[in-house]
Amino acid sequence: MSDCLFCKIIAGEVPSKKLYEDELCYAFYDIDPQAPTHFLVVPKAHIPGPHAVTEENAAAVGHIYAVIAKLAAELGLENGYRVVANDGPDGGQTVGHLHFHVLAGRSLAWPPG
């Protein structure tokens, strides 16, 4: 989508600190980290958010979880991490392209605010 920030990041039109990329997904560090390690993994296809995941596009989501597990191992996150996908205003979503936050490096509170 031409006016989508994360589509622009995937296309290299907006700079990002890239962590990983393959044919289905792109991973990059969050510009405003909420934990010592905070990166985002997004599908290359423009999916507006968790609410727009369907049987037809869900393979990218499963793939992203496998990529997250691999990146977490590579980054040495053996103490654990949290994967978060926000949806809509009440979910706190601010960018309308499905993204999975990966937060690690400190003990994270539960429940979230």
Helix (H) or strand (E) holding 89: helix 88-91
Q: What does the H/E/C string look like for 34-100?
A: CCCEEEEEEECCCCCCHHHCCCCCHHHHHHHHHHHHHHHHHCCCCCCCEEECCCHHHHCCCCCCCCE
Can you tell me whether residue 90 is helix, strand or coil? helix
Q: Does 37 bind ligand 5GP (CB under 6 A)?
A: no
Q: For residues 43-82, which are near Zn ion according to CB under 5 A?
A: 46
Q: Does 28 bind ligand 5GP (CB under 6 A)?
A: yes
Our CA angle for 102, 104, 107, nearest 5°, is 130
Q: Which of 26, 86, 97, 99 binds Zn ion (CB under 5 A)?
A: 97
> CB-wise, 24 or 87, nearer to ligand 5GP?
87
Q: Does 30 bind ligand 5GP (CB under 6 A)?
A: yes
Q: Does 113 bind ligand 5GP (CB under 6 A)?
A: no
For residue 64, report the phi and psi dihedrals to the nearest 5 degrees.
-60, -40
Q: Does 4 bind Zn ion (CB under 5 A)?
A: yes
Shortest Å, Cβ 63 to ligand 5GP: 20
99 is catalytic: yes
Residues near ligand 5GP (CB under 6 A): 5, 14, 16, 28, 30-32, 86, 92-95
| Catalytic residue ranges | 99
